[in-house]
């Protein structure tokens, strides 16, 4: 088992290496002029496009460009982000906590809602509740994230004035900038407590509601569908029939026996679900004015900021690879029949 984990962990750098090759390679498909034009913030600078091309080695080939980047990375320098106007590592340090806060606040509701609704649908198979939930799941799964996000912004925030957008109310942002609020973790909910500013924690929590809701809507539908079918599967198996035959109450049959087994396929879903969640976060951060990694990467993609994109892709690659490894390990824990050699 340990052997297996080490082998899998060693694959991660290889995956990251290939990812970085792909990104640098994709950039080369655009002409140096097109890439240089992305550096420009005002029309007048277009006159200096040749200087920009020379300065950033944009007319060099793939290998030269990759070497230039890799040499710096090996020294621990991920380069300067044109989007955030500061070194990439500085930005990651500041923005990762924001995205993490959002992901964590959405994660538990996503799992709970997905599993709970999936179970409900399975136990009420073909009933009205099941039908309704199935329609809801299809809608949730097929709705583009930005549509859900814009609805929530327009109706709940714009129409009703509830919750608000951005990480904190503007007055608090000004207040924190001018007072000596210390950023320990970069997550306002936790920093609020550590600084003894519960108003900040509360405001940050309120602001998390809408973006987290949007994530729950678009991500939990998938879990619910898997949970429903796997639950149905389990409920049709012999051991469940035996349990029912020996007169166990239905609640015990469902929750004590079938439920745990039905969860295994849901754990498999964790990988793809995380992917969908990250995709969702990119759009949601943009629309809810929630300045995290996703918003940063979306802008970088639009403006062909290679350093930023590479850092983002590598970071996500690292997270995805790690999660997939953890999922595989979790199988063993949940299902003792599975062994890795």
Partner 1 sequence: MKKYLLAIAALIVMGAAFAATPKDTYVYLQSAVVDSLDPVQGYDGASNGIIENIYETLYSFKKDSLSEYEPTLATSYEVSDDGLTYTFHLRKGVKFHSGNPMTCKDVKYSMQRNLVVMPGDSGAWIFGSVLTGYGDDAMTEAKRALGDNASKAEIDKFLDQYWKKIEAAVTCDDMYTVSFHLAKPDVSFMARLLFTGAAVVDSKFAIAHGEWSGTEADWKDWIGRDLRTSYLHKHDAGTGPYKLVKWDGNNVVAEAFDGYWGGAPAIKKVLIQSVEEEATRLEALRRGDADRVDVNSWATVNAKVKQMPGVKVWSDPKWSPAGAHVVFFNFNVQGENNPYIGSGKLDGNGIPRDFFSDINLRKAFAYCLDQDAIYNDLFEGHGSWYTMALPPTWPGYNPDIPIRKLDLDKAEEYFKKAWGGKVWEKGFKLTITYNAGNTERQTVAEMIKANVESINPKFKIDIAPLQWSDYLKAARAKSLPIWPLGWGADYADSDNFIHPFYHSRGSLAKRQNFKDPEFDKLIDYARTLVKPEQQAERYAIYKKIGRMAYDVLPNIPYPLQSPFIITRDNLQGVYYNSMLSRDFYWKDISKK
The residues that touch partner 1, with contacts defined as CB under 8 A, are: 31, 33-34, 36-37, 39-49, 51-52, 55, 80, 83-86, 91, 94-95, 150, 153-154, 157-158, 161-166, 169-171, 173-174, 177-178, 203, 206, 209, 286-289, 291, 295, 299
Q: Which is nearer to partner 1, 209 or 248 (CB)?
A: 209
Strands (E), the chain: 80-81, 86-87
| Nearest of 198, 236, 223, 29 to residue 141 by alpha carbon | 223
- Whole-number minimum distance, CB 184 to partner 1, in Å? 16
Q: How far is the CB of 317 from partner 1 (least distance, A)?
A: 23
Task: Please report how close the Cβ of residue 14 comes to partner 1 at its closest, in angstroms.
Answer: 32
Is there a contact between 244 and 134 (Cβ–Cβ < 8 Å)?
no
CB of 3 to partner 1, least distance (A): 43
Bridge partner residues of 95 (DSSP)? none
Q: How far is the CB of 288 from partner 1 (least distance, A)?
A: 7
DSSP states of 161-213: --S-SSSS-HHHHHHHHHTT---SSS-HHHHHHHTT-HHHHHHHHHHHHHHHH
- Of 54 and 250, CB closest to partner 1: 54
CB 199 to partner 1: min, Å: 10
Give the residue among 2, 9, 3 at the shortest CA–CA distance from 321: 9
Distance CA 103, CA 111 (A): 12
Q: Which is nearer to partner 1, 186 or 265 (CB)?
A: 186
Q: Which is nearer to partner 1, 39 or 69 (CB)?
A: 39
Of the pair 3, 178, the CB lying nearest partner 1 is at 178
CA distances to 91, 113, 130 from 133, in Å: 41, 12, 5
In terms of CB distance, is 106 or 320 closer to partner 1? 106
d(CA 259, CA 268): 15
Q: Please, which residues have CB within 8 angstroms of residue 246's CB and are 6 or more apart in sequence?
A: none
Please say which residue, 9 or 46, places its beta carbon nearer to partner 1.
Answer: 46
Residue 29 CB, nearest distance to partner 1 (Å)?
A: 14
């Amino acid at each position: 088992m340990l052997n297996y984990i080490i082998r899998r962990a060693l694959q991660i750098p290889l995956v990251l290496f290939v990812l970085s090759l792909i990104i640098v390679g994709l950039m080369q498909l655009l002409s140096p002029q097109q890439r240089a034009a992305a550096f420009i913030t005002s029309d007048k600078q277009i006159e200096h496009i040749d200087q920009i091309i020379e300065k950033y080695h944009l007319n060099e080939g793939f290998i030269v460009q990759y070497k230039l980047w890799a040499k710096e990375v090996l020294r621990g320098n991920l380069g300067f982000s044109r989007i955030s106007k500061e070194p990439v590592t500085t930005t990651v340090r500041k923005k990762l906590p924001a995205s993490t806060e959002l992901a964590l606040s959405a994660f538990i509701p996503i799992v709970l809602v997905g599993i709970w609704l999936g179970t409900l649908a399975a136990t009420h198979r073909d009933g009205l509740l099941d039908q309704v939930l199935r329609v809801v799941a299809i809608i949730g799964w097929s709705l583009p994230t930005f549509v859900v996000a814009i609805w929530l912004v327009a109706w709940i925030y714009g129409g009703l004035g509830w919750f608000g957008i951005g990480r904190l109310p503007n007055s608090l942002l000004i207040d924190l900038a001018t007072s000596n609020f210390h950023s320990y973790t970069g997550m306002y909910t936790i920093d609020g407590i550590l600084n003894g500013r519960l108003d900040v924690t509360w405001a940050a929590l309120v602001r998390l509601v809408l973006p987290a809701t949007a994530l729950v809507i678009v991500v939990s539908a998938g879990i619910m569908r898997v949970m429903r079918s796997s639950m149905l599967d389990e409920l049709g198996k012999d051991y469940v029939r035996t349990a029912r035959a020996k007169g166990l109450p239905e609640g015990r049959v469902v929750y004590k026996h079938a439920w745990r087994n039905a969860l295994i396929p849901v754990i498999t879903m964790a990988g793809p679900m995380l992917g969908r969640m990250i995709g969702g976060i990119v759009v949601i951060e943009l629309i809810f004015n929630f300045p995290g990694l996703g918003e940063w990467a979306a802008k970088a993609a639009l403006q062909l900021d290679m350093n930023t994109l590479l850092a983002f892709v590598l970071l996500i690659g690292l997270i995805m690879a790690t999660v997939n490894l953890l999922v595989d390990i979790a199988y063993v824990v949940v299902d003792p029949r599975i062994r890795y050699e």
